[in-house]
Amino acid sequence: MEQKEISELTDQELMLKANNFKSSNKTNAVLIGIVIGIAFYSIIKNGFGFLPIILFVCVMLAIQNGKKSKAIQKDIEREIISRDLN
C-alpha cells in the first residue's frame, strides 16, 4: 500500500485497517506455532523427511509476508498519530 492510499483513507477506514492488522498478526503467530509444532513432531516421530521441509518453507514464506505487512502497519500507525486519532 502506497503512502497516497493510506493518506486518502477516512478516519474510520484507517482505524479498521489498524485493528485488522492487529488481529491478523495474532492469528498468523498461532498458525506459525502450530505448523512448527507439527514439523517437530514429524521429525521426532518419522525422522527428517519431505513433510518438515515443506512446513518449514511455508513458515519462512509466512514470516517474510509478515515483515512486508509490518511495514504497512507502521505506515498506518504513523498516519493515525499524524491525524491524532488515538
In contact, 59 and 35? CB cutoff 8 Å: yes
Is the pTM value of this prediction over 0.85?
no
How far apart CA 62 and CA 60 sit, in angstroms, is: 5
Per-residue pLDDT reduced to its tens digit, 8-42: 888 888 888 888 888 888 888 898 999 999 999 98
Residue with cell 499524524: 82
Whether the Cβ atoms of residue 58 and residue 35 lie closer than 8 Å to each other = yes
Q: Hunting for cell 514439523 — which residue is that?
A: 39
